[in-house]
Structure 1
Amino acid sequence: MVDHIQTSATTSRFPVADLRLAVETRHPGGDPALLFAHGFGQTRGAWNGAAAALADAGCRCVTFDSRGHGESDRVAGGADPVDGYHMDQFADDLLRLAVAQPQPPILVGASMGGLLGIVLAGEVRPTPFRAMVLVDITPRWETAGVERILAFMQAHPDGFANYAEAAEQIASYLPQRRERKSEEQLRPLLREGADGRLRWHWDPALLAGSLLQESERYQPRLQAAAAKIDVPVLLLSGARSDVVSRTTVDEFLQLVPHAQHVELSHATHMVAGDANDAFTREVVRFVQSLDQPEGRPSAGAVQSR
């Protein structure tokens, strides 16, 4: 990779089966290509720090808002059990973005984004990714951690009177973060309704429809797909995560014995946000190792950073 390339993000609208996704590309001529897939309830902005640093290091970096999130289109009648949101739609969107890249990308997938990557890497041939970085997610997860995330997402259906009130709630949810989000940082995460109140960027139908009910049923499929992954994999987990655990990580390493695992000591489930510099360093190290197989850490070995 080449150091110190100055880059900026360009935004586009990417058509998928029935709507358009908001996509940002940094350093379009870079090599290798990295495709970032965010978690449920997040936006492409979750990757801003890492994507900017990796683009500056010479990589093509593509981030996007999943359907129903951020600036991407919402599904009409999204709460409908038949025509609403389904996991296979999200997976198909990611596949379309992957094959649209000039070369098979390295997927960097957090939480939901990582699960979608596991499905595609295990079920689609040829595999659409050159390699994968899974961010604090395994095919089986700790239910209590996911329930805590959903409880936060469902807690404020009437929104907030102002940005300060939203910042207060985020600070309570993420006490490990030292700095509160500013109004500028919050603007992409909130929408002002006709009543003047600020509500989160995601489509409420994501929480009301069948998508969440599907997630637990996906676990056997995810485990079967993981066992078929044949590309290099790095699992980055947070030592303070309540979504993955030593047990779920060990299960994953049994399914994907060639995978590498690095645990970031100060991170929770929100790995990139909690420890962005350490997260970025590990991604850079992994990307560089792909062309130097003799320099890779031992597969399956736990490394704490």
Structure 2
Amino acid sequence: MTSTTRRLDGKGVRLAADWAGPADGPAVVLLHGGGQTRHSWGETVEALVRNGFLTVNVDLRGHGESEWASDGDYSATTIADDIRAIAAELARPVALVGASMGGRAALLAAGEEPAVDCAGLVLVDVTPRMSAAGRRQVVEFMRGGLDGFVTLEDAAAAVSRYLPHRPPVKDTRGLAKNLRRGEDGRWRWHWDPALVDHPGYDPEDDPARFEAAAARVTAPFLLVRGGSSELVEPEHVRAFLDVAPQAEFAEVGKARHMVAGDRNQEFTDVIREFLARGL
């Protein structure tokens, strides 16, 4: 698969995004979760390209090769504005696939004015109401890596402690795409440390705001939950479907919050089938 990395203007930052697939294919924008990068989707991008989709795989502000926000603003509100800018660059209807932090912002971009011309919306293990304990786990893991790691193997060991259900990382080349090596020689996660104070959740967040946005989405709509998610519990799914009965729901068994990383083939099959029907 051949892809081209482009630089796009977000709201006050430059964003990096890989473009792949036929230029005239249905457009899909991939928006990863907090503390990840555009390399976190596994084989999903290649599968979408093989099925004729134009994929735009974005590093969110403060992540990967995108610029850090000088004001430390990583709120869902502002990331939604970045998504609107990306959609304007495409100048056509787009499907948004957003995980966690990316999903919350995608929901606002699709369900609040000025709404993106949305051909489809997929939320990956994110709902307006989520487990507070699960959120703390995510932030604690992010905070635990702020001092960096001596080797990539040390970083892999930290991931294995946090995700003991996954096979241990044996080949660190893929992991290296999500880290950067500092002048001191230590490996640190490839995101702005300010994220640990603003990991995608606005201080003024009200679940009702996101529920209202979900109720207004008219495009084909899918919620994907990891079957063992530590953030989205069955009660959160029920509350979501009460306010967004137009949405479909799918569950990827044995996956936790990082669904695409835990069970990539099953996740890819679910969203590919949904997008093929809706676009």
- Could you state the TM-score of these two structures normalised by the residue count of structure 1? 0.86
The Cα of 1:182 is off from its aligned counterpart by 2.5
SS at structure 2 position matched to 1:170: helix
> Contact 1:87/1:211 (CA < 8 Å) preserved in 2?
no
Decide whether the 8 Å contact of 1:95 with 1:128 is kept in 2: no
Q: What residue number does 2:223 align with?
A: 235
Aligned twin of 2:20:
26
Is 1:67 paired with 2:61?
Answer: yes
Q: How far 1:68 sits from its partner (Å)?
A: 0.6
SS at match of 1:262: strand
Indicate the residue corresponding to 1:296 in structure 2: none
TM-fit CA distance, 1:194: 2.1
The offset of 1:236, in angstroms, is: 0.9
SS across alignment from 1:237: strand
1:129 aligned residue (114, 118, 131): 118
1:107 Cα deviation (Å)? 0.8
Structure 2 runs not aligned, ≥5 long: none
Question: What does residue range 1-305 of structure 1 map to in structure 2 within 5 Å?
Answer: 7-78=1-72, 84-125=73-114, 127-180=116-169, 182-208=171-197, 214=202, 217-290=205-278
Report deviation, 1:247: 0.6
CA–CA separation in structure 2 for the residues paired with 1:160 and 1:87: 29
CA distance in 2, matches of 1:105, 1:8: 21
Q: Aligned equivalents of 1:112 and 1:235: distance in 2? A: 14
Aligned CA distance change for structure 1 residues 190 and 285 (closer, same or farther; 3 Å): same
| Contact residue 120 and residue 128 of structure 1 kept, 8 A | no
Structure 2 CA distance for aligned equivalents of residues 15 and 229 of structure 1: 25
Task: Compute the displacement of 1:48 (Å).
Answer: 4.0
The size of the alignment, in residue pairs, is: 279
**Structure 1 unpaired stretches of 5+:** 1-6, 79-83, 292-305
Three-state SS of the structure 2 residue aligned to 1:132 is strand
Give the TM-score normalised by structure 2: 0.94
Cα distance in 1 between the residues matched to 2:246 and 2:229: 23
> What residue identity is the alignment partner of 1:121?
A
TM-aligned CA deviation for residue 216 of structure 1: 6.4
- CA contact under 8 A between 1:14 and 1:23: conserved in structure 2? yes
Q: Secondary structure at the match of 2:18?
A: strand
Greater relative contact order: 1 or 2 (C-alpha under 8 angstroms, separation 6 or more)? Answer: 2
Letter in 2 for 1:175: P
* 8 Å contact from structure 2 (residues 34, 199) kept in 1: no
Contact 1:167 1:182 in 2 (8 A): no
Q: Name the CA shift for 1:212/1:20 in 2 (closer, same or farther; >3 Å).
A: closer
| CA deviation profile, 1:137-177 (whole Å, cap 9, x unmatched) | 11111111111010000013221111111110011111121
| Inter-partner Cα distance in structure 1 for 2:105 and 2:217 | 13
1:218, 1:147 → 2: CA distance? 18
Identity of aligned residues (%): 39
| Cα distance in 2, alignment partners of residues 259 and 203 from structure 1 | 33
Cα deviation digits, residues 216-263 of structure 1 (max 9, x gap): 624221112112111111111111001101111011111111111111
Q: Which amino acid aligns with 2:107?
A: I
Q: Secondary structure at the match of 1:17?
A: coil
**1:269 positional shift:** 0.9
Letter in 1 for 2:251: E
Q: Secondary structure at the match of 1:130?
A: strand
